[in-house]
Structure formats: structure tokens, C-alpha cells
Amino acid sequence: MSSSSIKPIYVEILIKAGMQELWDKTQDPRQHEQWDLRFSRIEYLPRTGADAPQRFRYSTKIGFGLCISGEGETSGRHLTEQERVSSLKFGSEQQISLISVGSGYWKYVQETEGVRFLTLYNYKTRFGRAGQWLDRVCFRPLMGWATAWSFDCLRLWLERQIPPAESLRKSLTHALATLLLAMIWIYQGLVPKLLVPDSGEMEMLRGIPVLQGYEQIVLTGVGVGEILFGLAHLLWNKHKWLYLLNIIGLLVLGVGAISNASVYLAPFNPVSLNLAMIGLAVTAMLSLQNLPSARACIRVKGSSAAERREST
């Protein structure tokens, strides 16, 4: 698998802001590092000459006290009054960095509704075929997602004056609440209903007269349903209806447990568990408003009106 056979990363978004304001947010290192997930710190280095490209140093914290750093150079050009471009080259000499060298550009196209901001970049990897495989399967999709999420975070900053730090906090809150809901639903469907049905779930169903003789079928069906509902949180977590279903379903399950009132006296009973899950659902639902999303961006070059016009 050669590097030339891998498609470069492409991200595009329309931002309803002025050209100069967008230029400043993307070209000023202190502002750039606020909204771009790919970098923890960016700093310009002294120019070697008036016409020399602007060199910069970047670093990214990857956890466990480790940090990837590298250097690059960028140069911006005003092609016309309606269009600007900023090209860049980058690379890292650190042997733990998957990226060795890369290059790309940012483009700014003035339109009636705002500025169409887009990027295209590619890079070479280390570690031979293993590095290429890791890049294709994991790292490149992650980089593409991080770029798109960051572009939408920048859009919210410019259009609605929501600071990137606030967007990041909301995204982490939403992700944590959604992940916990998914884990609880999957656990509740798998362990007490499918793996250990006699732990108490079966006893509750036996207390419902209309289900006599069908308890095992019903319990299995409910368990599979809860697992699928938990997995749905990983696919449709940006939809309000998912959390409304959480609240309604938890209220119904809580009322259904009345057939065996003794379960309300257990340490982890329907009242405490369901209220906690409802709280998570409400938290996730409230954090949906003005939440950055990679899906807000175009990820295929040539699919926007601006790119189609350029190719004709």
C-alpha cells in the first residue's frame, strides 16, 4: 500500500463571518490553538527574511505525559479580493510521531452567505507497512474527524460567539453522559436478563399475570432490545428523540416494577438507577444545543457548489 494510493484529508465548511475575521482566527497562533483539536500549542518562529515563509513550531499532548512536536512553514497569499490561500509544510523528527512530513493548504472563498473555508492536506508515515496500516485504519480517520470537528467549533466561535473552550466542555459532557447511558443499557440487557436471568428480573415478570408462561421469551426480548438501544447511543447521539425515549422508557420500566414492590428496597433499585439515568439523559439532551459536530462539514472534495464552480 503506497502513500500515493491514500486519499488526502479534505474538510470544508461555510462560515457566516467576514474574511478578515476568519483569517485572523486561523492565522494567529494564539487564536488557532484555541479551536484546533490537533494542536495543544502553536508558536511562530523568527523570520529569516522579509520574503521568507513563516516558520512555526507545534506540539500535541497525546496523554501519559507524552507530547508530539514538530515544525513547519506557512505562507499566505491574497489571490483576489474574494479569495485567499495559505499553504503549509510540516513534519516531525520525533521517532514516536507517526507523521514524518506533510503538506497542504487552507483556502478562503468569499460567498454571498459568508466565507467557504476549506483545507486539503496529506502526509507520509513512519514504521513501514505497519505505520501505513495504522494510519489507514485509525489515525487518518481520527485526524479527519478532528479537523472537521475543529472547523465547526471555529464556526460557532465566529457565528455565535461561543468560545472554543466552552464548546469542548459541552462536547465532553455530552460524550460522557451518552457513553454512560449506552454502557448502562447494554449492561442491563446483557447481564441480568440474558446471562443471569434468575437474579431477580425473572421474578418480577412472574408477578405479572398476563405474562405467565412467556417470562423467558419476554425477558430475552427485553434484554436484546436494551442492548440494541444502548448501541443506538453510539450512532444517533445527536438526536433529541433518543433522550426523550430514554426518559419515557425509564419511567415506564419504573412503573412496571411495581408488580414486585420488594425491588424498591434493594440497594440499587429502580428509583435510584432510573433517576440517575434520567439525569444523564437530560444532561445529554441539554448539551445538544450549539454542539460542534464533524458532520456539519463537507468531507469529499468537489461536492460543494464552490468547488464545482472552480472545476468548470
User: Mean of the pLDDT values across residues 282-289?
Assistant: 95
Rounded to the nearest integer, the mean pLDDT of the chain is: 88
Residue 1 pLDDT greater than 70, yes or no: no
**Distance (Å, whole) CA 53 – CA 47:** 7
User: Mean of the pLDDT values across residues 140-166?
Assistant: 97
Closest CA to 40 of 27, 17, 64, 57: 57
User: Mean of the pLDDT values across residues 184-203?
Assistant: 84
**Residue with the three cell numbers 514538530:** 70
pLDDT of residue 257: 59
pLDDT of residue 64: 79
Percent of the chain exceeding pLDDT 70 equals 87
Question: From the CA atom positions of the chain, what is the Rg in Å?
Answer: 25
The confidence band for 264, taking pLDDT boundaries of 50, 70 and 90, is: low
DSSP string of 146-172? HHHHHHHHHHHHHHH---HHHHHHHHH
- Whole-model pTM: value is 0.85
pLDDT digits (tens, 9 = 90+) for 88-124: 999 999 999 999 999 999 999 999 999 999 999 999 9
Residue 219 pLDDT greater than 50, yes or no: yes
pLDDT of residue 51: 76
pLDDT of residue 140: 96
**Distance (Å, whole) CA 109 – CA 38:** 23
**Distance (Å, whole) CA 77 – CA 53:** 11
User: Mean of the pLDDT values across residues 275-281?
Assistant: 95
